[in-house]
Structure 1
Amino acid sequence: MTHDEKKYPSPDEFKPERFLHKDGSLTSDTMPLGFGWGRRICVGRHLADAAVWIAITSFLATFSVHKALDEDGKEIPVIPKFSTGVAVHPETFPCRIVPRFQDASVERLTQLTGLGPSVNITTCLETNGDSTVAE
Protein backbone atom coordinates (compact mmCIF):
# COMPACT_ATOMS: atom_id res chain seq x y z
CA MET A 1 0.00 0.00 0.00
CA THR A 2 2.74 2.47 0.85
CA HIS A 3 4.66 1.47 -2.28
CA ASP A 4 1.94 2.67 -4.67
CA GLU A 5 3.92 4.83 -7.11
CA LYS A 6 0.78 6.74 -8.12
CA LYS A 7 0.33 7.99 -4.57
CA TYR A 8 3.99 7.97 -3.46
CA PRO A 9 6.41 8.63 -6.35
CA SER A 10 9.79 6.95 -5.70
CA PRO A 11 8.44 4.96 -2.73
CA ASP A 12 11.83 3.46 -1.83
CA GLU A 13 13.43 6.87 -1.33
CA PHE A 14 13.34 8.66 2.02
CA LYS A 15 11.35 11.82 1.24
CA PRO A 16 9.64 13.18 4.36
CA GLU A 17 8.71 16.32 2.41
CA ARG A 18 6.04 14.30 0.61
CA PHE A 19 3.97 14.62 3.79
CA LEU A 20 4.27 18.43 3.92
CA HIS A 21 2.35 21.20 2.18
CA LYS A 22 4.33 23.98 0.52
CA ASP A 23 3.85 26.15 3.64
CA GLY A 24 5.44 23.43 5.83
CA SER A 25 2.24 22.20 7.47
CA LEU A 26 1.51 18.47 7.59
CA THR A 27 -0.74 16.87 5.00
CA SER A 28 -3.70 14.85 6.21
CA ASP A 29 -2.23 11.73 4.61
CA THR A 30 -2.60 8.98 7.19
CA MET A 31 -2.20 5.29 6.53
CA PRO A 32 -3.72 3.25 9.39
CA LEU A 33 -2.03 0.03 8.28
CA GLY A 34 -1.52 -1.46 11.71
CA PHE A 35 -4.81 -0.29 13.16
CA GLY A 36 -7.36 -2.00 10.92
CA TRP A 37 -10.47 -0.53 9.26
CA GLY A 38 -14.17 -0.09 9.80
CA ARG A 39 -15.91 -0.84 13.05
CA ARG A 40 -13.02 -3.03 14.24
CA ILE A 41 -10.45 -0.24 13.96
CA CYS A 42 -8.19 0.06 17.00
CA VAL A 43 -9.69 2.40 19.58
CA GLY A 44 -6.21 3.33 20.85
CA ARG A 45 -4.81 4.39 17.48
CA HIS A 46 -4.72 8.11 18.35
CA LEU A 47 -2.97 7.42 21.65
CA ALA A 48 -0.45 5.16 19.89
CA ASP A 49 0.26 7.79 17.21
CA ALA A 50 0.67 10.49 19.86
CA ALA A 51 3.00 8.32 21.97
CA VAL A 52 5.25 7.55 19.01
CA TRP A 53 5.25 11.23 17.95
CA ILE A 54 6.24 12.37 21.45
CA ALA A 55 8.98 9.73 21.74
CA ILE A 56 10.53 10.60 18.37
CA THR A 57 10.34 14.38 18.78
CA SER A 58 11.72 14.19 22.33
CA PHE A 59 14.62 12.06 21.12
CA LEU A 60 15.36 14.40 18.19
CA ALA A 61 15.15 17.46 20.47
CA THR A 62 17.74 15.87 22.79
CA PHE A 63 20.08 14.22 20.27
CA SER A 64 21.25 14.81 16.73
CA VAL A 65 21.79 11.85 14.42
CA HIS A 66 24.67 11.89 11.95
CA LYS A 67 26.30 9.53 9.49
CA ALA A 68 29.00 7.32 11.03
CA LEU A 69 32.64 8.25 10.43
CA ASP A 70 35.35 5.98 9.08
CA GLU A 71 38.95 5.81 10.41
CA ASP A 72 39.86 8.94 8.42
CA GLY A 73 36.94 10.95 9.80
CA LYS A 74 34.96 10.85 6.54
CA GLU A 75 31.23 10.16 6.58
CA ILE A 76 30.16 6.63 5.70
CA PRO A 77 27.26 6.74 3.22
CA VAL A 78 24.06 5.05 4.36
CA ILE A 79 22.95 2.27 2.04
CA PRO A 80 19.30 1.50 2.82
CA LYS A 81 18.69 -2.22 3.34
CA PHE A 82 15.45 -3.78 4.50
CA SER A 83 14.47 -7.13 5.93
CA THR A 84 12.15 -9.38 3.99
CA GLY A 85 8.98 -11.05 5.14
CA VAL A 86 5.65 -10.00 6.56
CA ALA A 87 6.98 -7.23 8.82
CA VAL A 88 9.58 -5.37 6.75
CA HIS A 89 11.91 -3.07 8.71
CA PRO A 90 15.22 -1.30 8.05
CA GLU A 91 18.32 -3.35 8.81
CA THR A 92 20.87 -2.04 11.29
CA PHE A 93 23.17 0.66 9.91
CA PRO A 94 26.06 2.64 11.42
CA CYS A 95 25.34 6.15 12.69
CA ARG A 96 26.45 8.65 15.33
CA ILE A 97 24.04 9.86 17.99
CA VAL A 98 25.32 13.04 19.62
CA PRO A 99 23.71 14.83 22.60
CA ARG A 100 22.59 18.38 21.82
CA PHE A 101 23.40 19.38 25.42
CA GLN A 102 27.09 18.60 25.87
CA ASP A 103 27.18 19.41 29.59
CA ALA A 104 24.13 17.29 30.49
CA SER A 105 24.47 14.13 32.55
CA VAL A 106 23.18 10.78 31.35
CA GLU A 107 20.35 11.05 33.89
CA ARG A 108 19.36 14.47 32.56
CA LEU A 109 19.44 13.26 28.96
CA THR A 110 17.20 10.36 29.96
CA GLN A 111 14.75 12.83 31.53
CA LEU A 112 14.80 15.06 28.44
CA THR A 113 13.93 12.22 26.09
CA GLY A 114 11.09 11.07 28.31
CA LEU A 115 11.92 7.49 27.34
CA GLY A 116 12.93 6.53 30.87
CA PRO A 117 14.64 3.23 31.62
CA SER A 118 13.37 1.62 28.40
CA VAL A 119 16.35 3.09 26.54
CA ASN A 120 19.89 2.71 27.89
CA ILE A 121 21.41 6.02 26.80
CA THR A 122 24.85 5.17 28.23
CA THR A 123 25.09 2.06 26.06
CA CYS A 124 23.78 4.00 23.07
CA LEU A 125 26.41 6.73 23.49
CA GLU A 126 29.23 4.23 24.09
CA THR A 127 28.21 2.27 20.99
CA ASN A 128 28.37 5.48 18.96
CA GLY A 129 31.77 6.42 20.36
CA ASP A 130 30.60 9.61 22.07
CA SER A 131 32.51 10.43 25.23
CA THR A 132 31.39 14.05 25.58
CA VAL A 133 28.56 13.37 28.02
CA ALA A 134 29.16 14.28 31.65
CA GLU A 135 28.86 11.37 34.08
Structure 2
Amino acid sequence: MANQWALSRDEDKFPDASNFDPTRHLTTDGQLKDRVTANHFAFGYGRRICPGRWFAEDAMWAAMAAMLSVLHMDHAKDPNGKKIEITPEFTPGIQVILKPFPCSFESVNAEREGQLRATMSLK
Protein backbone atom coordinates (compact mmCIF):
# COMPACT_ATOMS: atom_id res chain seq x y z
CA MET A 1 0.00 0.00 0.00
CA ALA A 2 1.44 3.34 -1.03
CA ASN A 3 1.75 6.09 1.57
CA GLN A 4 -0.64 8.65 0.02
CA TRP A 5 -0.14 11.08 2.89
CA ALA A 6 3.61 11.26 2.33
CA LEU A 7 3.18 11.49 -1.46
CA SER A 8 0.83 14.44 -1.07
CA ARG A 9 3.37 16.28 1.06
CA ASP A 10 6.37 16.05 -1.26
CA GLU A 11 7.90 19.51 -0.72
CA ASP A 12 9.40 19.50 -4.25
CA LYS A 13 5.94 19.20 -5.84
CA PHE A 14 3.73 20.72 -3.12
CA PRO A 15 5.52 23.46 -1.14
CA ASP A 16 3.86 24.06 2.23
CA ALA A 17 1.48 21.17 1.52
CA SER A 18 -0.52 21.44 4.74
CA ASN A 19 -1.84 24.90 3.84
CA PHE A 20 -4.57 25.65 1.30
CA ASP A 21 -2.85 27.53 -1.52
CA PRO A 22 -4.51 27.42 -4.96
CA THR A 23 -1.72 29.57 -6.40
CA ARG A 24 0.60 26.54 -6.35
CA HIS A 25 -1.27 25.39 -9.48
CA LEU A 26 -0.47 28.59 -11.38
CA THR A 27 2.56 29.61 -13.40
CA THR A 28 4.50 32.77 -12.54
CA ASP A 29 2.38 34.75 -15.03
CA GLY A 30 -0.89 33.55 -13.45
CA GLN A 31 -1.85 30.84 -15.96
CA LEU A 32 -3.01 27.38 -14.94
CA LYS A 33 -0.22 24.80 -15.06
CA ASP A 34 -0.79 22.06 -17.63
CA ARG A 35 -2.66 19.03 -16.27
CA VAL A 36 -1.59 19.43 -12.66
CA THR A 37 -3.35 16.19 -11.71
CA ALA A 38 -2.78 14.12 -14.88
CA ASN A 39 -0.32 11.75 -13.21
CA HIS A 40 -1.50 12.43 -9.70
CA PHE A 41 -0.99 9.63 -7.18
CA ALA A 42 -4.73 9.55 -6.44
CA PHE A 43 -5.31 7.91 -9.85
CA GLY A 44 -3.08 4.92 -9.08
CA TYR A 45 0.20 3.72 -10.50
CA GLY A 46 1.75 1.84 -13.39
CA ARG A 47 -0.37 -0.71 -15.25
CA ARG A 48 -3.26 -0.18 -12.85
CA ILE A 49 -3.54 3.58 -13.27
CA CYS A 50 -7.12 4.76 -13.75
CA PRO A 51 -8.03 4.78 -17.45
CA GLY A 52 -10.73 7.38 -16.76
CA ARG A 53 -8.43 9.91 -15.07
CA TRP A 54 -8.72 12.37 -17.99
CA PHE A 55 -12.52 12.19 -17.92
CA ALA A 56 -12.56 12.55 -14.12
CA GLU A 57 -10.32 15.61 -14.23
CA ASP A 58 -12.36 17.26 -17.00
CA ALA A 59 -15.68 16.45 -15.28
CA MET A 60 -14.43 18.00 -12.02
CA TRP A 61 -13.25 21.11 -13.90
CA ALA A 62 -16.66 21.50 -15.57
CA ALA A 63 -18.51 20.97 -12.28
CA MET A 64 -16.39 23.52 -10.41
CA ALA A 65 -16.65 26.08 -13.23
CA ALA A 66 -20.45 25.68 -13.24
CA MET A 67 -20.68 26.11 -9.46
CA LEU A 68 -18.34 29.10 -9.40
CA SER A 69 -20.34 30.81 -12.18
CA VAL A 70 -23.54 30.58 -10.13
CA LEU A 71 -22.55 30.62 -6.46
CA HIS A 72 -20.74 32.90 -4.08
CA MET A 73 -19.14 30.68 -1.43
CA ASP A 74 -18.12 32.20 1.87
CA HIS A 75 -17.91 31.70 5.61
CA ALA A 76 -21.17 31.07 7.45
CA LYS A 77 -22.32 33.91 9.69
CA ASP A 78 -23.57 33.75 13.27
CA PRO A 79 -26.91 35.38 14.32
CA ASN A 80 -25.09 38.73 14.75
CA GLY A 81 -23.77 38.61 11.18
CA LYS A 82 -20.21 37.92 12.27
CA LYS A 83 -18.14 35.51 10.16
CA ILE A 84 -17.72 32.03 11.68
CA GLU A 85 -14.06 31.01 11.35
CA ILE A 86 -13.38 27.48 10.14
CA THR A 87 -11.26 25.16 12.23
CA PRO A 88 -10.50 22.12 10.06
CA GLU A 89 -11.22 18.81 11.79
CA PHE A 90 -10.50 15.41 10.26
CA THR A 91 -11.61 11.86 10.94
CA PRO A 92 -8.94 9.50 12.26
CA GLY A 93 -7.93 6.28 10.55
CA ILE A 94 -6.60 5.04 7.23
CA GLN A 95 -9.02 7.22 5.23
CA VAL A 96 -8.80 10.75 6.58
CA ILE A 97 -11.87 12.85 5.73
CA LEU A 98 -12.57 16.50 6.44
CA LYS A 99 -15.49 16.78 8.87
CA PRO A 100 -18.44 18.98 7.84
CA PHE A 101 -18.15 22.69 8.63
CA PRO A 102 -20.56 25.64 8.37
CA CYS A 103 -20.39 27.65 5.15
CA SER A 104 -22.55 29.91 3.03
CA PHE A 105 -23.66 29.50 -0.60
CA GLU A 106 -25.51 32.38 -2.24
CA SER A 107 -26.77 32.58 -5.80
CA VAL A 108 -25.19 35.37 -7.83
CA ASN A 109 -27.51 35.00 -10.81
CA ALA A 110 -31.00 33.48 -10.64
CA GLU A 111 -31.11 32.67 -14.37
CA ARG A 112 -27.79 30.82 -14.29
CA GLU A 113 -28.86 29.05 -11.10
CA GLY A 114 -32.00 27.83 -12.85
CA GLN A 115 -29.95 26.57 -15.79
CA LEU A 116 -27.54 24.76 -13.47
CA ARG A 117 -30.37 23.17 -11.52
CA ALA A 118 -32.03 22.04 -14.77
CA THR A 119 -28.76 20.59 -15.99
CA MET A 120 -28.26 18.72 -12.75
CA SER A 121 -31.94 17.68 -12.59
CA LEU A 122 -32.33 19.26 -9.15
CA LYS A 123 -35.65 20.65 -8.07
1:116 aligns with 2:110: no
The residue aligned with 1:69 is 77
Structure 1, unaligned stretches of length 5 or more? 121-135
Residue 4 of structure 1 and its aligned partner are, at CA, apart by 2.4
3-state SS of paired residue (1:96): strand
Residue 82 of structure 1 and its aligned partner are, at CA, apart by 2.0
Residues 70 and 88 (structure 1), Cα distance of their counterparts in 2 relative to 1, 3 Å cut: same
Instruction: Report the Cα distance in structure 2 between the residues aligned to 1:83 and 1:115, rounded to whole angstroms.
Output: 30
Q: Which amino acid aligns with 2:48?
A: R
**Is 1:82–1:89's contact at 8 Å kept on the other side of the alignment?**
yes
Using the size of structure 2 for normalisation, the TM-score is 0.79
Instruction: Report the Cα distance in structure 1 between the residues aligned to 2:71 and 2:112, rounded to whole angstroms.
Output: 13
The range that moved more, 23-32 or 69-78, is: 23-32
Tell me the percent identity: 34
Runs of at least 4 residues off by over 6 Å: none
The residue aligned with 1:16 is 22
The residue aligned with 2:52 is 44
Residue 106 of structure 1 and its aligned partner are, at CA, apart by 6.4
Using the size of structure 1 for normalisation, the TM-score is 0.72
Aligned to 1:86, which of 82, 85, 94? 94
Q: Which amino acid aligns with 1:23?
A: D
